[in-house]
Structure 1
Amino acid sequence: MVIKMLATDMDGTLLKNNKTLSTNNIKALKKAQEKGIEIVICTGRPYATIKPYLKEIGFPCWVVSNNGAVIRNKEKEIINIINIDNRAILDLIPILEKENIYFHGSDGCHSYIKSYRERIKVIKNYIKLKSSSHFTTWTKSLHAVFLSGAHRKVDMRKYVLSGGTFASLFIYSLEPKQLENTKSKIKNVGGIAITSSGRENIEILHESASKGNALKKLSQQLNISTNEIAAVGDNYNDLSMISIAGLGVAMENAEEEVLKSAKWRTKSNEDDGVSYLIERILSGDLTIDQGVESK
């Protein structure tokens, strides 16, 4: 069966560890698109942090953000959004505040934070992966929070009570025990799904939102069977799309559960695994029916 749609995760998959997008991956995506394959960027990130990479990619593609809660078409318009029920948010906020753990909420356009200082601190931890320069780290962190237009400072409870909505909640800590304790306390809140895109975070969605469900909806709109989808990722939030795709692919650097769930394994994100996957697909060496467990 021919592959008609390629869905790729970003962090740990399409992006290198320093959060850059390689020339090889850009060229491969463009080549696949020119061959008629629908390209879907499918990530836990909110849209504001995806836009710079879309500009680098250089051609219109579908975007699934917020771990499947928000779908955008090639014209960057939101065509579907699933918000977390506000009653669930109001149950979660006091738990998270009692745990004294960082969290923010995102809708289809912005991220809503409690503290500029804490947000800058979190962003700095990620930017350090990209540059060892203290000045550059500070400059990029300040730009991301104050100049990008992506953030809004709010009182979380008042914002929700006034009708504000979140498509996803992002919880962050460098302390595994704190994350584990938090997860155990929020798991009984009704109407939510809990996932993760890294060992330092927990991500919360509406119970019906996932990357897999978003791809199902998009494939129906495009009249593409899920059996004609190739989906590639590395982490737990990618499991739903890897499981529904005709060709579910794990990065070599993927979590063990993802490796076990995938039909095929490509190279690591540091070795342009997405480019390698596309090369194998376009050459005819790899089809839905030829999926194997290792590269």
Structure 2
Amino acid sequence: MNYKLLATDMDGTLLMDNKSLSQQNIDALRRVKEKDIEIAICTGRPYNSVEPYLRQLNFDCWVITSNGSVIRDKEGKIISVIYMKSEALKKAIEILEEEKIYYHISDEKYTYIRNQLQRVKFLRKVIFQTSATYWKAWFLSLWIVLFDKNYKKVDFSTFTRNNRNATNIFIYSEDTKQLQAIKEKLEKIKGVDVTSSGQNNIEVLDNDATKGKSLEGLAKLLNITKKEIIAVGDNFNDLSMIQYAGLGVAMKNAEKEVLENADWITKTNEEHGIDYLVRKIIEVPKKSMEI
């Protein structure tokens, strides 16, 4: 099969556990570009946290962020935004305010937070996972929150009354029982898709804004059929695009449901699974597709 588009998730897929890009995966994607195959980065992250990786890749590619809510062209210009419906957003915020749990809301430009200290504590946990020292994680978290202009402090209780839009909500807790209870409440809201990119989070967006639907929209724009697409990921928010693509690929470290729905399984993110996928499927298509 002559594939024309490779869509890849970031965390747990393209990135290592410490959130770095391996040289093997960078080189693999560059080889894909040399074959005139389009590349789409598909992530739950907001665009500002994707930009440093795009600079590291140093080639143009399509970018789908906020789990499919925002699509940008190869120059970084927005070509599509899907916001949560106002009433659904209002109900979700009411549930989260009652639960007193950490969450932030994003649109195509900003990340909205309740207060700076709460955000610093959240970022410190995330950065600490990248092998940073305890104090370096604190310092970087403080610097990001205090000086990054992509953050806006808001009163979530008046968020919808102030006519603000949201592409998605990200909810975080290390209490998995609390997350499950909240997920069950959120799933009752009409018009939303509730998913996750890890055991410690929930992500809420409009039900027309999944990675799969955005990938379908991008394929129509590029005049590419689903059979000509490879999509690869590791978590629940990747399921829709893995199921849509002609070849849906799961990382070996993927969730069980993702593994069960995939057409093929590559190596883990720590084993440079994107590089392995490129070598086994795109560069040597006649060879066996078994690991």
Which TM class, normalised by the smaller chain length? Answer: over 0.9
Matches within 5 A, 1:55-70: 55-70=55-70
Q: What SS does the aligned partner of 2:208 have?
A: coil
- Equivalence for 1:165: 165
Q: What SS does the aligned partner of 1:203 have?
A: strand
Identity of aligned residues (%): 46
Query: How far apart, in 2, do the equivalents of 1:67 and 1:167 lie?
Result: 9
AA of the residue aligned to 2:169: L
AA of the residue aligned to 1:9: D
Unaligned runs of 5+ in 2: none
Provide Cα deviations, 1:258-281, integer angstroms capped at 9, x if missing partner: 001000000000010001111123
1:138 is aligned to 2:138? yes
Runs of 4+ in 1 over 6 A off after TM superposition: none
Query: How far apart, in 2, do the equivalents of 1:148 and 1:31 lie?
Result: 34
Q: CA contact under 8 A between 2:3 and 2:282: conserved in structure 1?
A: no
Question: 1:197 Cα deviation (Å)?
Answer: 0.5
User: Residue 125 and residue 286 in structure 1: after superposition, are their counterparts in 2 closer, same or farther (change >3 A)?
Assistant: farther
- Equivalence for 2:85: 85
Matches within 5 A, 1:205-244: 205-244=205-244
AA of the residue aligned to 1:104: H
1:179 is aligned to 2:179? yes
Query: How far apart, in 2, do the equivalents of 1:8 and 1:129 lie?
Result: 22
Q: CA contact under 8 A between 1:213 and 1:241: conserved in structure 2?
A: yes
- Equivalence for 1:148: 148
- Equivalence for 1:42: 42
Structure 1 range deviating more: 135-144 or 99-108: 135-144
Query: How far apart, in 2, do the equivalents of 1:254 and 1:185 lie?
Result: 26
User: Residue 286 and residue 226 in structure 1: after superposition, are their counterparts in 2 closer, same or farther (change >3 A)?
Assistant: farther
Question: 1:159 Cα deviation (Å)?
Answer: 3.0
Query: How far apart, in 2, do the equivalents of 1:9 and 1:152 lie?
Result: 26
Q: What SS does the aligned partner of 1:190 have?
A: coil
Q: TM-score, normalised by structure 1?
A: 0.96
- Equivalence for 2:98: 98
Question: 1:286 Cα deviation (Å)?
Answer: 6.0
AA of the residue aligned to 1:122: F
Q: What SS does the aligned partner of 2:159 have?
A: helix
Query: How far apart, in 1, do the equivalents of 2:143 and 2:87 lie?
Result: 33
Query: How far apart, in 2, do the equivalents of 1:286 and 1:232 lie?
Result: 20
Q: How many residues matched?
A: 291
Query: How far apart, in 2, do the equivalents of 1:223 and 1:5 lie?
Result: 11
Question: 1:132 Cα deviation (Å)?
Answer: 4.2
Q: CA contact under 8 A between 1:104 and 1:114: conserved in structure 2?
A: yes
Query: How far apart, in 2, do the equivalents of 1:55 and 1:194 lie?
Result: 31
Q: CA RMSD in A?
A: 1.3
Q: What SS does the aligned partner of 1:174 have?
A: coil
Unaligned runs of 5+ in 1: none
Q: What SS does the aligned partner of 2:188 have?
A: coil
Q: TM-score, normalised by structure 2?
A: 0.97
